[in-house]
Chain A
Amino acid sequence: MKNNWLMFLVITVLMVSMSSLAFGQEKPAEGMYFRLVTHGGDDPFWAVVQQGMLEAAKELGCQVDIDLAGSDLALQQKRFAEAVAQKPNGIALVVNDDTAWDKPVEDALAAGIPVIGINNDDSQGPAGNKRLCYIGQSEERAGYMIGLRLFQEAKDKGIDLANAHVAMPVEVPGANYGVVRSNGIKRAGEEFGISSFEIIDGGGLEMTTMEQRETSYLLAHPETTFMIGLGGIATDRLTDSLKAAGKEPGEVIAGGFDTTAATLNGLREGYITATIDQQQFLQGYYAVYVLYLYNKYGFTPNIDTGGYLVDSIEKIDLIEKLSPLHVR
């Protein structure tokens, strides 16, 4: 009887020890809940951000949700208010307006909910919005980088840049991303003595309208030396527009943003010289990690995820390999 009790005691101690070991392998952010409040909508871009977010959540063992507001600022603000009411351990917010987010972010921080910026930041950075840090592409720098790459290409070809004209189609005229990217392109242009720039209203996210506008513009403006899509759809339609306007590869130096199949195809065919990959997977991935680390240690790092210049066959091959996995 005594032995039985002893055996029972040993087994119990072993089980408790094993349980403790098991608990020791508990994932670091278990029990935490984070939320990503974005303006995203009809755009595959956000599926990749979400994939990054989910992978980080799986690794850390936390719960995460993402809100897509279809570019509706009022809806995005409603989603943010709902997220705050849920009292999560942190919110990652797309700061896509310089004034609309000032008070909501301050109120959330005052309520003890950490808020970090992702994807798009206040144009004044931390001076314009109190978010704790920012993870995403520096849009101005990305515009500057693509501008430098394309203008250098033209210079190497011996094109007279003093008389060059830069056309920049955009999906949503006035949207923050387009404005800031075009500023970067203009800054690069100034270094090469280029002074003629025009932003073109591409007519929205619909691809046929975009192609129609780009083609018509190219036909009407034979002086166009560069055509730089400010967004993914504007860049996607460049190759077909250039072909429809009767341009040969490299006749108009073209480039832009994001890595859709048509853009990569244009790169292979030589119609597009370079494009910038935002590496948006990292925006979702790092957002979760940074919120976790803020909760644990109070870290608030600023991370620039963008500026990956795609202009070679090796890089195209890499992206085409990762694209079906929703990583690029």
Chain B
Amino acid sequence: MNSLRKILTFRSSNTLWVFIALVVVFSLFTPNRIFINVRNISAIGKLFPDLGIITLGVGMLMVCGEFDLSVAAVLPFCSYVFARLLFIGTSPLISFIVAILTGMALGYLNGFITVKTRMPSFITTLGTLWFWRGILYVWSKMMPMSIRTYVPNNTPFQLAMAGNLTPFFPVQVLWFLIFAVVLGIVLHYHRFGNWVFATGDNRDAARAMGIKTDMVKIVCYVIVGALCGFCACMQAVRLGSFAATQGVNFEFKAVAACVVGGTSLRGGIGSMLGILLGALIIPIIDNGLILMRVPVFAISAFIGLATVLFVLLNTYIERKMR
């Protein structure tokens, strides 16, 4: 009984119930139960991790009390670095590592500017979002670059980034789960996770406790940058090209997914399970409604409504818990 109460009062449990409800409703009411058709699940599994993996890092950063809107620029920037390196003959693996390092460097810059200037991260990363997109446009001339010749189908790197483990189990899902588990362990079972929660909840108190809050924040930004670099390569390999439009609107979608997953916009509250579910719920709503033949023009309205309802629900639960 006690453990049942614990589960019911667990912050992300409301997200979990909604997730289960959505799966049940869409499974029962989509024509021919196409929602649970293996082809549909495989299609979702291949696509949602592009944003989902970044959402995991953004969620952790939000728990730390900060935002990162620049993900929508860091991702295509890293993708371009990856493509350029392939074009000059660098191996896919080295290009991949450099792209991730580029993401980490840009993440570090975001963190450094934010903690040193005490500027709200919303503004810092909005600025870097525009700055890096501008640099990218000038550098790339916005021209797409096909990388299929450099990363051909069925090569080990292509399979590791965009292949299938079984005919209908895309490798992207595995990567998403690996990152979720690793970040979940760090956030909930490691000392660094305690520092993240403490920094996000009350920075001054955390500093008084001896936590290096600036370092904690910078590390969280670097994690987001690394995940952007990873997703940039994963997406570019799947698409077979670099495109300047990669990551457009990811900044808001990632925040929305975290909020749906029960992460507080004020920091200090959130869970990796909630963030994981939040990353799944929005694409599931999108997919399920289209499968239910809801006019596609109405989908955005439903997603907007769902996001607001989740915030209201979480705020209500937050108040009840106090």
Cβ-defined contact, A213 with B47, below 8 A: no
Residues of B within 8 Å of A216, CB to CB, are 40, 43, 286-287, 290-291
Interface residues on B, range: 35 or more
B266 part of interface (Cβ distance < 8 Å) = no
Nearest residue, chain A, Cβ from B145: A261
Q: Mark B242-253, 1 if CB is under 8 A from A, else 0.
A: 011111111000
A6 part of interface (Cβ distance < 8 Å) = no
The CA-CA distance from A195 to B245 in the complex, in Å, is 34
Cβ-defined contact, B43 with A43, below 8 A: no
Among the 9-residue stretches A78-86, A122-130, A146-154, A201-209, the one with 4 or more Cβ atoms under 8 Å from chain B is A201-209
Nearest residue, chain B, Cβ from A51: B141
A79 to chain B, nearest CB (A): 16
Cβ-defined contact, B39 with A44, below 8 A: no
A201-B296, A212-B47 given. 19 additional CB < 8 A pairs? A42-B142, A42-B245, A42-B248, A44-B143, A44-B244, A200-B296, A206-B247, A207-B235, A211-B47, A212-B43, A213-B290, A215-B43, A216-B291, A219-B40, A220-B293, A260-B241, A262-B239, A326-B141, A326-B143
Q: In terms of DSSP, what is the predominant structure of the interface of chain B?
A: helix
Of B39, B40, B47, B247, most A-chain CB atoms within 10 Å: B47
Cβ-defined contact, A206 with B235, below 8 A: no
Residues of B within 8 Å of A200, CB to CB, are 296
B146 part of interface (Cβ distance < 8 Å) = yes
B27 part of interface (Cβ distance < 8 Å) = no
Nearest residue, chain A, Cβ from B286: A212
The CA-CA distance from A219 to B292 in the complex, in Å, is 10
Cβ-defined contact, B249 with A173, below 8 A: no
Cβ-defined contact, A212 with B283, below 8 A: yes
Nearest residue, chain B, Cβ from A205: B245
CB contact between A246 and one of B39, B137, B300 (< 8 Å): that residue: B39
Residues of A within 8 Å of B148, CB to CB, are 261, 265
Cβ-defined contact, A220 with B291, below 8 A: yes
Q: Mark A199-237, 1 if CB is under 8 A from B, else 0.
A: 011011111110111011101110000000000010010
Residues of A within 8 Å of B34, CB to CB, are 219-220
Nearest residue, chain A, Cβ from B76: A42
A67 to chain B, nearest CB (A): 13
Residues of B within 8 Å of A217, CB to CB, are 290, 296
Q: Mark A157-188, 1 if CB is under 8 A from B, else 0.
A: 00000000000000001000000000000000
A101 part of interface (Cβ distance < 8 Å) = no
Chain A residues in the interface with B (C-beta under 8 A): 42-44, 46-48, 50, 173, 200-201, 203-209, 211-213, 215-217, 219-221, 233, 236, 240, 244-246, 260-262, 265, 326
Cβ-defined contact, A43 with B142, below 8 A: yes
The CA-CA distance from A246 to B43 in the complex, in Å, is 10
Cβ-defined contact, A47 with B141, below 8 A: yes
Of A173, A216, A233, most B-chain CB atoms within 10 Å: A216
Residues of B within 8 Å of A209, CB to CB, are 249, 286
Residues of B within 8 Å of A206, CB to CB, are 245-250
Residues of A within 8 Å of B238, CB to CB, are 240
Cβ-defined contact, A261 with B241, below 8 A: yes
The CA-CA distance from A207 to B75 in the complex, in Å, is 13
A-B contact pairs, 6 of them (CB 8 A): A42-B245, A205-B245, A206-B245, A212-B287, A216-B287, A245-B39
Cβ-defined contact, B296 with A213, below 8 A: yes
B222 part of interface (Cβ distance < 8 Å) = no
Nearest residue, chain A, Cβ from B288: A216
Residues of B within 8 Å of A207, CB to CB, are 235, 239, 243, 245-246
Residues of A within 8 Å of B30, CB to CB, are 220
The CA-CA distance from A211 to B313 in the complex, in Å, is 31
Residues of A within 8 Å of B293, CB to CB, are 220-221
Cβ-defined contact, B297 with A201, below 8 A: yes
Cβ-defined contact, B245 with A43, below 8 A: yes
Q: Mark B273-305, 1 if CB is under 8 A from A, else 0.
A: 000000000010011001111001101100000
Residues of A within 8 Å of B246, CB to CB, are 206-207
Cβ-defined contact, B39 with A244, below 8 A: yes
Nearest residue, chain A, Cβ from B238: A240
Once A212-B44, A212-B283 are accepted as A-B contacts, the answer to whether A204 and B249 lie under 8 Å apart by CB is yes
The CA-CA distance from A200 to B47 in the complex, in Å, is 19
CB contact between A44 and one of B133, B142, B290 (< 8 Å): that residue: B142
Residues of B within 8 Å of A233, CB to CB, are 245
B107 part of interface (Cβ distance < 8 Å) = no
Interfacial residues of chain B within 140-155, with CB under 8 A of chain A in the complex? 141-144, 146, 148
